[in-house]
Amino acid sequence: MEIALWLVLVLMLGGVYVFWRWGSRSRKATELADARAEAQRWYERLGGQLMNLHGDAPAVRQALADAGERYNAAGSQLEQARTPHQFALARETALEGLAYIRAARTAMGIDPGPELPPLAAARGAGMLTKEREVNVQGQTYRAGPQPGDRTPYYYPGGNWQGRPVPAGWYSTPWWKTALGAGAGVLGGMLIADALFSPAFADPGYGYEAGYQEGFQDGADYGDNNDGGDFGGDQGADFSGGGDYGGGDFGGDFGGGDFGGGDFGGGGDW
């Protein structure tokens, strides 16, 4: 009797395990099929757009060339994909290509079409809102939110060397030429610092604007608080020629970086 009971229990547990395994395989198969279909859908849409768009303007030609590169790359990824993650990468590549298609349509002066799902690589990168022109190592670099003869290279946003690069139009694809080692990487970092500092995704916002806002906030705070104890008790410390008056703090701000150097000498700021 006990043997029969144990046998029934083993058979029940075996049945549960087989059912669980079947369900797990079925879910994985469904997930894989869905990922393949999603990637294939965006890949085919990219191919259709490439076939129907043509333009002679430099910005249009460049955007379409970049879209074509993504199309070829996505096709290769689809052929080799065996997992949902690999199909997701192919989908991302196809979406990047479609972002370039939207850029090309914008450069042509036509409706860019419906919005795309956000690119994973561009998450948190933002976009350019104002034109920017900087000089780095004797070469001029430009960037802005709109295409033009001087900014024919579109970038959909992403990260380069751990630094966010906002979506927008650039005078040269410095993120490509700086993919090597040594001087190329250093040059790319200098360009990124010059273009996007200090206020990321809005390079037209500089030190002066930030200073004015901070000054106004400080003035408002002082008016509302009547200058009370802070003005009396702390005035001696700040005006008595100590560390803040003629010492370290005064030296750095008076004749150092902020006085006659980067901020005071009429450089990028």
> What DSSP string runs through 112-153?
--SPPPPPSTTTTT-B--S-EEEEETTEEEEEESS-BTTB-E
* Alpha-carbon span 106 to 112, nearest angstrom: 6
For 15, other C-beta atoms within 10 Å of its C-beta total 10
Residues 210 and 136 occupy one common structural domain? yes
Whether 8 is in a domain gets the answer no
Whether 127 is in a domain gets the answer yes
Beta bridge partners of 127: 167
Beta bridge partners of 169: 144, 154
Range from 15-19, 144-148, 180-184 that averages highest in pLDDT = 144-148
> Mean pLDDT across the stretch 58-65?
96
More confident residue, 152 or 247: 152
For residue 237, pLDDT over 70 is answered with: no
Beta bridge partners of 143: 132, 170
**pLDDT at position 198, please?**
57
Residues 23 and 113 occupy one common structural domain? yes
User: Which position has the token pair 């751990």?
Assistant: 162
In this structure, of 47-51, 114-118, 156-160, 228-232, the range with the lowest mean pLDDT score is 228-232
* Alpha-carbon span 178 to 190, nearest angstrom: 11
Residues 210 and 127 occupy one common structural domain? yes
Would residue 56 be called left, alpha or beta, if left means φ above 0 and alpha means ψ between -120 and 50 degrees?
alpha
**pLDDT at position 184, please?**
60
User: Which position has the token pair 């879910």?
Assistant: 27
* pTM of the predicted protein model: 0.65
Q: What is the domain-level CATH number for residue 106?
A: 1.20.1270
Residues 133 and 163 occupy one common structural domain? yes
* Alpha-carbon span 183 to 181, nearest angstrom: 6
Beta bridge partners of 124: none
Q: Is 267 helix (H, G, I), strand (E, B) or coil?
A: coil
Whether 86 is in a domain gets the answer yes
Task: Please answer whether residues 142 and 171 qualify as being in contact, where contact means their C-beta atoms are separated by less than 8 angstroms.
Answer: yes
Residues 97 and 166 occupy one common structural domain? no
Whether 34 is in a domain gets the answer yes
Residues 94 and 153 occupy one common structural domain? no
Residues 97 and 84 occupy one common structural domain? yes
* Alpha-carbon span 17 to 56, nearest angstrom: 63
**Does the bond joining 198 to the residue before it have cis omega, within 30 degrees of 0?**
yes
Whether 28 is in a domain gets the answer yes
Nearest alpha-carbon partner for 41 in 111, 117, 100? 117
For residue 100, pLDDT over 50 is answered with: yes
Whether 249 is in a domain gets the answer no
> Mean pLDDT across the stretch 16-42?
84
* Alpha-carbon span 166 to 127, nearest angstrom: 4
Residue-averaged pLDDT of the chain: 75
Residues 209 and 134 occupy one common structural domain? yes
Residue 178 in tokens: 């700086």
Confidence label for 201 from pLDDT (cuts 50, 70 and 90): very low
Whether 232 is in a domain gets the answer no
Residues 92 and 131 occupy one common structural domain? no
Confidence label for 27 from pLDDT (cuts 50, 70 and 90): confident
Residues 94 and 137 occupy one common structural domain? no
Residues 39 and 78 occupy one common structural domain? yes
**pLDDT at position 179, please?**
52
Whether 149 is in a domain gets the answer yes
> Mean pLDDT across the stretch 9-37?
78
Residues 122 and 198 occupy one common structural domain? yes
**pLDDT at position 161, please?**
80
Domain of 147, in residue numbers: 118-178+185-214
Classify residue 67 as exposed, middle or buried by CB count within 10 Å of its CB (0-12, 13-18, 19+): buried
- The count of structural domains within the chain is 2
Task: Please answer whether residues 63 and 107 qualify as being in contact, where contact means their C-beta atoms are separated by less than 8 angstroms.
Answer: yes
More confident residue, 117 or 25: 117
Confidence label for 196 from pLDDT (cuts 50, 70 and 90): confident
